[in-house]
Amino acid sequence: MIKNRIIHFLANFEKEHFKETFPLDYCLPVYHCVSDEYLPHLNQIIQYKNTKQFEEDLDCFSKHFQFVSWNEFKDFIKGHFKPKKKIALLTFDDGFREFYDLVVPILERKGIYAINFINPAFVDNQDLMFRCKASLIINEIEKSKTINPKIYNILSSKENLKQQILKISYSKKQLLDQLAEILEINFNLFLNEQKPYLSFDHLNILTQKGFGISSHSWDHPLYNELTLSQKLETTQKTFDYLKENNFLYDSFAFPFTDFGVEKNFFDELFKNEDLFCSFGSAGIKSDTVKKNFQRIPMETRENAETILKKEIAYYSLKKFFNRNTIVRK
């Protein structure tokens, strides 16, 4: 794409010490998983980094920013905390088990805090997020020498099966269960054997260790596909769960993206007096909803320095056209 070529070109002109040109006072990286293993429930949907790549990212952030805790981030936004340099708050989404097994030992060694935004529906491996089901299905189809014709009865055509499966929406996720049945994929068996998500015990241990557990909706829908009442229901249900179990209930990170989420949802959301802020994942951008902060996706098969330089270049380009603020209607 022409846009990507322009961004890549402009990024080459960013300084080595780009913290000087980073346009915001805070940096909010977001990851989902870190693993050195093949993860069939993720490999088709997330370009997760291995431990070496993740540590290199952390070293890059530490060079240019000051990592902060959740309370320090809140105090910074309120104007009550003055860091030595621009801050970074490390965030994870989805509550995958590798956060406990691999990420936290690295963070403890480096003295870095992180907050993980979870979906209570998947805690204790009670269910599998619909996109993870899609990943397992695609891997199974790619292994097969022949395609069961029943699959074509569910999908719209025989072309681009992978893309068709990836496009199955939250509202039609039952189609994934139908495909799994044809392919003899047992999601419950996968959950019991692989345990891809954090357990409730994990969440409590992480909290005791000082890490944050907060809200990512109940079961990971795409919010711009939901009605206002559906958005509020899944969000409040998750807040109730977090509050009842003594996790963080003063923040919320949109699953997938907050693109297309209307202003009246935010108006209703922030009637919750416990809520400090929400998070999207649109990169370095401002938002007309002042309590909604945008994070930088870090799983792009590029290292942190490249990603940040591209984000800075893109922000500068959009600023030229006065389009670097998300406007809610």
pLDDT at 50 over 60: yes
Measured over the CA atoms of residue 58, residue 62, residue 63 and residue 66, the dihedral's sign is positive
Rounded Cα gap, residues 289 and 113, in angstroms = 26
Mean pLDDT of the chain: 95
User: What pLDDT does 9 receive?
Assistant: 58
Q: Which domains does the chain have, with CATH numbers?
A: 2-126+204-326 (3.20.20.370), 130-191 (no CATH)
Report whether 51 contacts 34 (CB < 8 A): yes
Q: What is the pLDDT of residue 14?
A: 62
Confidence band of 133 (pLDDT split at 50, 70, 90): very high
CA distance 29 to 191: 28
**Over 70: is that where the pLDDT of 286 sits?**
yes
State the average pLDDT over residues 4-29. Answer: 76
| Strand, helix or coil for residue 185 | coil
CA distance 7 to 194: 40
Phi, psi for residue 109 in degrees, rounded to 5: -65, -35
Q: What is the pLDDT of residue 326?
A: 95
Strands in 77-174 per DSSP E:
87-88, 90-93, 114-118
Q: What is the mean pLDDT of residues 248-271?
A: 98
Write the DSSP assignment of 245-287 as a string of letters: TTS--SEEE-SS--TT--HHHHHHHTT-TT--EEEE-SSS-EE
The lowest-confidence range among 157-161, 205-209, 213-217, 271-275 is 157-161
8 near 309, Cβ under 8 Å? Answer: no
Whether residue 13 has pLDDT greater than 60: no
Cα angle vertex 236, ends 293, 71, to 5°? 45
d(CA 62, CA 103): 16
Confidence (pLDDT) at 1: 65
pTM: 0.95
pLDDT(127) > 80? yes
pLDDT at 156: 84
Q: Of 231 and 145, which is predicted with more confidence? A: 231
Looking at the predicted structure, is the pLDDT value of residue 183 above 60?
yes
**Confidence band for 3, pLDDT divided at 50, 70 and 90:** low
Number of DSSP helices (H) and strands (E) in the chain, helices first: 14, 13
Taking 70 as the threshold, does the pLDDT of residue 159 lie above it? yes
Q: Write down the pLDDT at residue 16.
A: 67
The per-residue pLDDT for 299 is 98
The tokens describing 64, both together, are: 């240019």
Q: How far apart are CA 235 and CA 240, in angstroms?
A: 9
Radius of gyration of the chain from Cα atoms?
Answer: 20
Could you tell me the two tokens for 222?
């795409």
Residue 213, amino acid: I
* Coil, strand or helix at 50: coil
> What percent of the chain is helix, strand and coil (3-state, nearest 5)?
45, 15, 40
Q: How far is CA 71 from the centre of its chain?
A: 20
Among 214, 197, 175, which residue's Cα sits nearest to residue 96? 197
Tokens of 221: 């829908």
% of the chain surpassing 70 pLDDT: 95
Distance CA 68, CA 77 (A): 12
Segment 112-135 mean pLDDT: 98
- Residue 92 vs residue 12, higher pLDDT: 92
Task: Establish how many alpha carbons lie within 13 A of residue 268's alpha carbon, considering only the half-sphere containing its beta carbon.
Answer: 14
The three-state secondary structure class of 153 is: helix
110 pLDDT tier (thresholds 50, 70, 90): very high
